[in-house]
Structure 1
Amino acid sequence: MTAGRAARSPLPRAAGLLLLGALGGLTASAAAEDPEARLERKKEELAELRRAAREIGEELERTRKREADAREAVFELEERISVLRNRRRRSERNLAANTERREELKAERQRLRERVDRHRDRLEAYLRAAHRAGQSGFLRQLFEHRDPGRIRRALTFMSYLHEARRQEMERLREARERAADVMDELAAERTEETRLRDRLAEQKRAIARRLEERRALLEELEAQSERKRNRLAAVRSDQQALKKVIERLRGLREDGVLEKVGEKHMAARKGELPLPVARPEILAHYGDSRERRSMRWRGLLLGAETGAEVRSIFRGRVAYAGRLRGYGLITIIDHGDNLLSLYAHNRVVYKEVGEWVETGAPVAAVGTTGGRSRPATYFEIRQGGEPVDPLQWCRAPGGSEQRSAGR
C-alpha cells in the first residue's frame, strides 16, 4: 500500500544518516578533516534528520486521519447493520404472525369447503324435489283443481322452493368467492414475506461486505501507526467520554420517577443477581490491568457467542442506547437511586431510550462493535456514578476456575 511505503521509508533513511554521521566522525578524526567543512557537514546531516522527522510526523498524521475516517465509517456501518437487524427481527416476528394467520386462513378455507359441500347438497335436494314434482304431473294436477285455496297453497310452496333454491345458489357462489379470496390472500402474504426477507438479507450481506472492507483497511492503518503509544490516551478519552455521558444522564434524570424503584430491591439481591450473558467466559475482571499497567478494568469483559442475548440484570429504564466511541453500541439502564448498569460492544441494541425493562429482558446481542477482535460484552455497574465490582452484585458463573480463565 502507498501509505505503508510512505510511512516506512523515512526510518531507514534516518538510520542511514545516523550511521553515515558516525562513520564520518571516524573519517574526520583519521584524516584531520577541516573544522569548517565538518561543521557544515553536520549542519546538513541535522537538516536532513529534521526533514526525515518532519516527513515521518506528516505521514503519521495522515495515517491517523485515514484511521479516524475509517473508524467513523465502521461506526456508521455498524449502526446501519444494527438498524437492519432490528428490521429483520421485526420482519421475522411479522412472519411468525403471518404464519399463524395463514393457519387461520387454512382453517377458514376448510370450513368454506365444508360449507360449499352443504350448500351443494341442499341445492341438489331442491332440484330433486322440483324434478319429482315435474315427473308426477304436479302442475297438471294443480290446474285441474278448481279450489282457489288449494291452488294458492301449491303456488306458495313452489315459490318457497324456488326462493330456497335461489338462496342456496347465492350462498354457494359467495362461499366459492370467499374461498378464492382466501387462497389469493395466502399467496400474496407468502410472496410479500419472501420478498421482504430476501431484500433484508441482501442489504445485510452488502453492508457486511462493506464493513469487512473497512475493517481490513482499519487494521492496515493501525498496523502502520504507533498504536501502542496512543492507546493509553484513547482509553482515558473513552473513559472520560463515558463518565460525561453518565454525568449527563444523572443530571437529566426525572425527579421522583425512579425513586426507590431499584436500589431498595436491588440491594436486597446484592450478590444474587444474574450476569447479563448466559455461561460467559470472563476475559477480564474488575481491577485487572489493561493495555498499560496504569489502567484498570472498571467492569467485566464477558466472552460469548456472537448474537447471544444480553439481558438486563434488574428492572429499570433505558437511559442511553446508541454508539459511544471505544464502547461501540451500548445500552445503559437506570435502576433508580444512582444505580446504573452498562452493556457495551453489542452487535445490535433492542431497546430505545425511555423504555422500561424487566429483570432478564433481552436488551442487546453480543458483538464486536467498538473495535473488539472477538465477540464479548463489556459489563459495568455504577453506583453514584462510580464503577463497582459487578461480582459483588452478580453470581459468578464458575468461581475460581472462571476467574483464572479470564486472566
Structure 2
Amino acid sequence: MIKVLLSAVSFRALCAALLLLCAIAAAADNDNTQRQLNNLNDKIGSLKKSINKQQQDRSSTAKALRTIEKDIGELAAKLRQTSSKREQQQRKLAELESRQQLLRKQQVNQKALIAEHVRNAYTLGKESQLKMLLNQEQPEKLSRTLTYFDYFNRARSEELTKYRDTLSELDSLKPSIEAEAQALAETSAELKRQQQSLLQQKQQRANALAGIDREILNKTSSLNTLDKERKGLENVLQAVEREITNIVIPENYKPFNAMRGKMPWPVRGKLLNRYGASRQGSAVTWQGIQIAGNEGDSVLSIHNGRVVFADWLRGAGLLIIVDHGGGYLSLYAHNQSLLRTEGDWVKGGEAVATVGNSGGQRQAGLYFEIRYKGQPTDPRRWCQ
C-alpha cells in the first residue's frame, strides 16, 4: 500500500515537473518571438530611414504624389473597414427583423390555439365535473373524462405561458432593432463622407500626375525615371534580403519551395507582360508580372510568412513585401491600400492589400514579384 502511495506521489510530482518545464519553454518561446519582432522592427525602421535619405532628391510634385497616395491608402483602408462594418450591421438588422416576423407569425398561431382551447373548455364545461361524477355509470368513462379536463387545463396553461414569452421577446426586440437601425444609418453616413473624401484625394492625385507628366517631356527622361525607380526598388530588396530575411518561420508553416506550381495568384486578372521581357524597348526588363485588376479588389498573400515592409516607395507606390522563409520573398506593388503592417504574420490566401494604381500608375493593377535570395524568379513557375 505504501509503495502504491509513493508511486502515485512520484507520478504527480513528475507531471507537475513536466508542466513546469512546458510553461518555462512556452515563456522562452514567447520571449524569443518578442525579441525577434523587436529586432525586426528596429531593422525595418533603419531601412526606412535609409530609403528616405535616398529619395530626398525627388521633385516637390513627386513628394506631393507620395503624400496624396499614402493618404488615399489610409482612407481606402478605413473605407473598407467601414463598408465591412455596415455589411455586418445590415446582416444583424436583417436577422432581428426576420426573428420579429417569425415571432409575429408565432403570436398569431398561439392566439388561435388559445382560442381553440377556450372553446373546447367551454364545450366540456357545460356540465360540471360534480354533475358528471354523479351521473356516470361507467367508471372507466368517468376516469377518461376527468383526464380530458386535466389535459385541456395543462395545455391551455402551457400555451398561455408560450404566448406571454412571445410577447415579451417581441417587446425586447423592438429597441434592439431601433438601435441597430440607428447604428446602420450612422455607419452609412460615415461611409458616404469617406467616399466623398476619397474622390477629393483622387482629384488631387490626378493634378499631381499631370505635374509629373509635364516634368517628363520625352521618352529619354521617361526611361531614365524608370531606371531610377527600378534601382530604388532593387536597393530596398537587397537591404531586406541582407538585413531582415533571417527571421525564423514557424515549423508548422509548409516550406515555400514545397509549394512550387501550387500557389494561387495574388489577384485574379489578365497577365499583362512576360517575365524577363524588355520594358518600353529599354535595357530595363520585367522582373515580375503586372496583373490587371479592379480598384479595391483584395490582394492575397500567396503563402504563409511575415510582412517585412509595408510603405510607399517611389515607382512602386504602396508596397508590401512578405518573407516566406528559406530566402523567399513575395512583393506586391501599386496597391491602393495596405491592410497589414511590418511584423504581422499572414497566411496563404489572406488579404494583405487592395488593388490600386499608386506609384503614378494610370490603370489599376498589381505588380507582383517572387525573389529567392535576392534574385527574381518567374512567378508562373510558382503560381497555378
Smaller-chain TM-score range? 0.5 to 0.7
Residue in 1 that maps onto 2:287: 298
Q: 1:241 aligns with which of 236, 240, 256?
A: 236
| Counterpart residue number, 1:22 | none
1:200-219 correspondence runs (5 A) = 200=191, 202-219=192-209
Q: How far has the Cα of 1:373 moved from its partner?
A: 0.7
- Kept in 1: contact 2:319–2:334 (CA 8 A): yes
Secondary structure of 1:75's counterpart equals helix
Change in Cα spacing, 1:339 to 1:77, as seen in structure 2 (3 Å) is same
TM-score (norm 2): 0.64
CA gap 1:246/1:207 in 2 versus in 1, 3 angstroms? farther
- Residue 225, structure 1, aligned to residue 225, structure 2: no
Q: How many residues align?
A: 307
- Aligned mates of 2:287, 2:369 — CA distance in 1: 7
Distance in 2 between residues matched to 1:137 and 1:259, nearest whole Å: 76
Decide which of 150, 168, 171 is 1:180's aligned counterpart. 171
Q: 1:110 to 1:348 in 2, by over 3 A?
A: farther
What's 1:16 paired with? none
Q: Would you say 1:338 and 2:312 are equivalent positions?
A: no
Please name the residue that 1:91 is paired with.
86
Q: Which amino acid aligns with 2:368?
A: F
Alignment gaps of 5+ in structure 2:
1-55, 132-148
* Structure-2 residue corresponding to 1:196: 187
Per-residue deviation at 1:273? 4.1
Alpha-carbon distance in 2 for matches of 1:72, 1:165: 72
Distance 1:90 1:286, change over 3 A: farther
**Cα distance in structure 2, aligned partners of 1:112 and 1:247:** 70
Alignment check: 8 A CA contact 1:318 1:331 kept: no
Look up the match of 2:304: 316
CA distance in 2, matches of 1:300, 1:391: 9
The higher-RCO structure (CA 8 Å, 6+ apart) is: 2
Residue number in structure 2 paired with 1:107: 102
Q: Structure 1 unaligned runs (5+)? A: 1-60, 140-157, 396-407
Which is higher, the Rg of structure 1 or of structure 2?
Answer: 1
Letter in 1 for 2:254: V
Matches within 5 A, 1:251-262: 251=246, 253=247, 255=248, 257-258=250-251, 261-262=254-255
2-side partners of 1:355 and 1:112: how far apart? 51
Q: Classify the secondary structure of the residue corresponding to 2:245.
A: helix
Percent of matched pairs sharing the same residue: 22
3-state SS of 1:281 partner = coil
Asked if 2 retains the 8 angstrom alpha-carbon contact of 1:380 and 1:390, the reply is yes
Q: Secondary structure at the match of 2:211?
A: helix
Structure 2 matches for 1:8-407, cutoff 5 A? 64-96=59-91, 98-100=93-95, 102-123=97-118, 125=120, 132=126, 172-200=163-191, 202-226=192-216, 228=221, 231=225, 232-251=227-246, 253=247, 255=248, 257-258=250-251, 261-266=254-259, 269-270=260-261, 273-282=263-272, 284-290=273-279, 293-313=282-302, 315-320=303-308, 322-326=310-314, 327-351=316-340, 353-358=343-348, 360-395=349-384
- Aligned partners of 2:297 and 2:354 also within 8 Å: yes
Kept in 2: contact 1:286–1:300 (CA 8 A):
yes
Shift of 1:381: 0.4
| Aligned residues: CA RMSD | 4.1
- TM-score with structure 1 length normalisation? 0.61
Whole-Å separation in 1 of the counterparts to 2:206 and 2:311 = 21
CA gap 1:363/1:111 in 2 versus in 1, 3 angstroms:
farther
Kindly tell me: are residues 301 and 262 of structure 1, through their superposed partners in 2, closer, same or farther at Cα, counting changes over 3 Å?
A: same
Q: Deviations over 1:204-239 (max 9, x none)?
A: 322222212311320232134357376133442243
Are the counterparts in 1 of residues 65 and 208 from structure 2 also a CA contact under 8 Å? yes
Closer/same/farther in 2, CA of residues 199 and 126 from structure 1, 3 Å limit = farther
Following TM superposition, by how much is the alpha carbon of 1:164 offset from its aligned partner in structure 2, in angstroms? 9.2
Return closer, same or farther for 1:248/1:117 CA change in 2, 3 Å cut-off: farther
Q: CA deviation at 1:364?
A: 3.6
Specify the alignment match of 2:16 in structure 1.
Answer: none
**Residues 178 and 259 of structure 1, relative CA distance in 2, 3 Å threshold:** closer
* Distance in structure 2 (CA, Å) of the matches to 1:161 and 1:273: 67
After superposition, what is the alpha-carbon deviation per residue over 1:271-326, rounded to whole angstroms, capped at 9, x for unaligned?
A: x54433324132x333333468343332111123334443333x312424632313
